[in-house]
Amino acid sequence: MADETSRAVPVPGVSEGPRAGSPSFWRDGHGPASARAPALIETGEGRLSHLEWFRAPWQHGGATTGFGLWTLPDGREREVLVKFPVGHIEYLWTLRLGAVDAEEWDSPAALALPAPRVLAAGEELGGHDLAWIIVERLRGPGVGAALTAETLGDLTSAAADFQARALKASPVNLPPPETDWEKVIERARVRLPDCGIAEPARWKEALKKLARGLDGVVRRWGARDASSWCHGDLHPGNALYRLCPGENRVCVLIDFALVHAGHWVEDGVYLERQYWGHEAALGGFKPVSALAQARRTRGLPVANDYAEVANLRRVLMAAAVPVQLAREGNPAYVRAALETLERLTPQVCR
């Protein structure tokens, strides 16, 4: 599984990015969507209808997505989202977290799920090995549409619900993804003269200081408690609201392609660092502390050393920024990463 050091970090709600914009619909008269539609309808035993395919601005892979209608056994129709192909991890966790019996579709437990409810899924389509899912279409707004203390609290609460339900669905039976941090930091140091980064002398000095204590930092990070399932891509663009009866709404996480074993604090730091350099957008909200409190209220363990573990993660991710400049070139983010590295390195290297 790829570590997050190889992926871009969006800054939702702050700057224009790949997730901006609305889906564009298309008919695909002779494309893969139309070719697979009959097989999907047949697999759904006629319950799936009115398919309309779309491509959103943030979609860069080969997945096909569309909206449609699904008829429940009692004759009611529900709006759905169809997606194929789906990677193994996303397929596995979408089912683990969102599988609901049709008879329990609108039960309180089903409506409270922190993941889209699944209507149908399979690992074969039209005689080919091709995983697909059909889930509820979430009509509520995205968390990123209005960042407030309430919506950010909803997001971290949904993350805690995800972590709790994921652990209930499956014990953590995999090791966390491994990263050769010494190699990453060395690559960062080598790239400094040519990557166009601002204040290269400051970066050089900051990385030099980290290098002196890197063995201990890496050893402590490797010894962290990795007994949680982490979402791996926690940000407002991956959270939508489910509209429920009585004007209630539930924050629902989407996109489980990067779920992995690790320390629960990783999700909190991932959310936090998307706003490095744009901290005002959070309005004083502290993602790691909020996630810790949300876990406590759900009876999930929160060890006393979680702040130290979070600092280890912050330092390692900040130090990797020069390697990522082709994908993460936001100047404010880069400067904030440098300041984080300078501020925390003395603490984690003691």
pLDDT (tens digit, 9 = 90+) per residue, 101-116?
988 999 999 999 999 9
pLDDT tens-digit readout, 44-54:
788 999 888 87
> pLDDT at residue 132 above 60?
yes
Percent of the chain at pLDDT above 90? 71
Between 207 and 29, the more confident residue is 207
Phi, psi of 219, rounded to the nearest 5 degrees: -65, -45
User: Is the distance from CB of 196 to CB of 335 less than 8 angstroms?
Assistant: no
Q: Please give the average per-residue pLDDT across 69-81, as a whole number.
A: 92
pLDDT attached to residue 125? 84
Task: Supply 214's token pair.
Answer: 């890197």
pLDDT attached to residue 56? 59
pLDDT attached to residue 19? 35
Q: Determine the Cα–Cα distance for residues 99 and 250; give it in Å rounded to an integer.
A: 17
pLDDT tens-digit readout, 24-46:
444 444 455 656 777 787 777 88
> pLDDT at residue 22 above 60?
no
**Least confidently predicted of 12-21, 79-88, 199-208, 262-271:** 12-21
pLDDT tens-digit readout, 295-337:
999 999 999 999 999 999 999 999 999 998 755 568 999 999 9
pLDDT band at 17 (very low <50, low <70, confident <90, very high): very low
pLDDT tens-digit readout, 77-96:
999 999 999 999 999 999 99
Average pLDDT of the chain, as a whole number: 87
> pLDDT at residue 217 above 80?
yes
pLDDT band at 15 (very low <50, low <70, confident <90, very high): very low
pLDDT band at 1 (very low <50, low <70, confident <90, very high): very low
Between 4 and 185, the more confident residue is 185
The position carrying tokens 């209808």 is 49
Among 98, 95, 120, smallest CA distance to 109 is for 98
The position carrying tokens 């149908």 is 120
pLDDT attached to residue 339? 97
> pLDDT at residue 209 above 50?
yes
> pLDDT at residue 8 above 60?
no
Q: Determine the Cα–Cα distance for residues 179 and 198; give it in Å rounded to an integer.
A: 26
pLDDT attached to residue 128? 83
Q: Determine the Cα–Cα distance for residues 327 and 330; give it in Å rounded to an integer.
A: 9
Q: Please give the average per-residue pLDDT across 131-157, as a whole number.
A: 94
Q: Please give the average per-residue pLDDT across 238-247, as a whole number.
A: 92
pLDDT attached to residue 327? 57
pLDDT attached to residue 201? 95
User: Is the distance from CB of 338 to CB of 318 less than 8 angstroms?
Assistant: yes
User: Is the distance from CB of 98 to CB of 113 less than 8 angstroms?
Assistant: yes
CA separation, residue 75 to residues 72, 80, 98, 107 (Å): 5, 15, 21, 17
pLDDT attached to residue 46? 83
Q: Per residue, what are the HEC states of the chain?
A: CCCHHHCCCCCCCCCCCCCCCCCEEECCCCCHHHHHHHHHHHHCCCCEEEEEEEECCCCCCCCEEEEEEEECCCCCEEEEEEEECCCHHHHHHHHHHHECCHHHCCCHHHHCCCCCCEEEEEEEECCEEEEEEEEECCCCCEHHHCCCHHHHHHHHHHHHHHHHHHHHHCCCCCCCCCCCHHHHHHHHHHHCCCCCCCCHHHHHHHHHHHHHHHHHHHHHHHCCCCCEEECCCCCHHHEEEEEEHHHEEEEEECCCCCCEEECCHHHHHHHHHCCCCCHHHHCCCCHHHHHHHHHHHCCCCCCCCHHHHHHHHHHHHHHCHHHHCCCCCCHHHHHHHHHHHHHHHHHHCC
In the chain, what are the domains?
Answer: 24-136 (3.30.200.20), 143-348 (3.90.1200.10)
Question: Is this prediction's pTM over 0.85?
Answer: yes
Among 22, 31, 1, 17, smallest CA distance to 235 is for 17
pLDDT attached to residue 29? 42
